[in-house]
Structures are given as C-alpha cells and as structure tokens.
Amino acid sequence: MIQIYHNQRCGKSRSCLLVLEESNKEIEIINYLKTPPTAAELTILLQKLNLTPIELVRQKESIWIENFKGKTLSENEIIQAMAENPILIERPIVVNGNKAIIGRDLEKVIPFI
C-alpha cells in the first residue's frame, strides 16, 4: 500500500494525491496535521527519504523563522520541532515500501509508484 502524508490545503499535495488516485493502487491518506508523526516515525521517514532532518523542514514557515532560524539545533531537536509543529514538515511525502519521496515534482511520483 502506498501512503501519502497529505495536507488538503496544499495545491502540490492535492495534485500528488490525484496522481496516486489515478494510479488505481491502494493508498492510505495520512493527514499529518491532524495526526502528526511522532519523532520516532519521523526518524523512520527520514531514513526512507534518505534525507537529513533539516532537508525535511519547511524553513520559510513562520514557526520556523520565529522559533528556530539561526539556532544551532541537533538532528534530534529538529525532528522534535517537526513532531511538535507538523506544519514544518515538507509535503507531500509518498511512501512505497521502504522508500519515500517528497512528491512535489509529479514527474518523479509517477515512476516511483
């Protein structure tokens, strides 16, 4: 089953979800703003994405700018910040087995699924 960490208010996320729905594959939609991933779940996602924590942060979000920008944070602190403020998590994230991608570029999503 393919999972998508989805934000309905995000146009890129809605477009990605449409591509997934059109693939006729079984998908699980995770509204990560309502049910945020834990720090442990984010750590697993980061491994599947092959990204560092800072690469998954939406650094232009006001929460990041006001509370974290310019500070020296450990990877665990960045993960905890995303767990506590899920709006900071880049979206959408598409998970297929042990691999994941950020699904903003639909041309990368299609071959991935």
Which of the residues are catalytic? 10
Q: What is the pTM of this model?
A: 0.93
Kindly report, residue by residue over 77-101, the tens digit of the pLDDT: 999 999 999 999 999 999 999 999 9
Kindly report, residue by residue over 3-12, the tens digit of the pLDDT: 999 999 999 9
Tokens found for residue 63:
């929460």
56 - beta bridge partners?
none
- Whole-number pLDDT of residue 23: 92
Provide the 3-class DSSP secondary structure of residue 26.
coil
